[in-house]
Amino acid sequence: MKTNDLILQTVSKIILFVIILFSIHLFFAGHYHPGGGFVGGLMTSGAIVLLLLAFDIKTVGKILPVDYKKLIGIGLLFSVGTGLGALVVDLPFLTHVFGYVNLPILGKTSLHTAVLFDTGVFLLVIGVTMTIIQTIGESE
């Protein structure tokens, strides 16, 4: 019997934006509020899992042509790279820099290299979660 998934698909298309927006908020608010790379990454992968529930695995692969195993590598590179960047300027490994920068549109913004480390965690968590779920989902 053919099932009609119109309600689920329509609602998940709308809800997807809410979840991804909230995960980005969690990611960027991590320095001053509860949140950070781990929760943000988990929530982004939750949004992709919602897409996987509403559509099949091939459609999602077409919408997001991402190799999640490579995403793990990119995330690790980000994290190790921020650590090695401190070595270049003769500081101990994983030393972070904090400062206020005047950006053209955003104005005075506080930037921290820990955000780059967090980006690594973010990408790594998405990569690991999606690899686990897709591997389990694909096996017959």
Partner 1 sequence: MIEIVRVIVGCCVVTGALLSLVTAFGLIRLPDVYTRNHAASKSATMGVMLVLLGAFLYFYTEEGYADARLILAISFIFLTSPVAGHLISRAAYNSGVKLWGHSVQDDLREHRLVQNSKEHLPACEPREADTKSQP
Q: In the complex, which residues of this chain contact partner 1 (CB under 8 A)? A: 1, 3, 7-8, 11, 14-15, 18, 22, 25
In 3D, which of 12, 34, 8, 39 has the Cα closest to residue 23? Answer: 39
CB of 6 to partner 1, least distance (A): 11
CA-to-CA dists, residue 92 to 85, 96, 97, angstroms: 10, 9, 12
State the minimum distance, in angstroms, from the CB of residue 19 to partner 1: 8
126 forms bridges with which residues in the sheet? none
Nearer to partner 1, 25 or 96 (CB): 25
Which residue, 11 or 57, is less far from partner 1 as judged by CB?
11
What's the min distance (Å) between Cβ of 82 and partner 1? 29
**CB-wise, 17 or 93, nearer to partner 1?**
17
Which one, 1 or 136, has the nearer CB to partner 1? Answer: 1
To partner 1, the closest distance from the beta carbon of 21 in angstroms equals 8
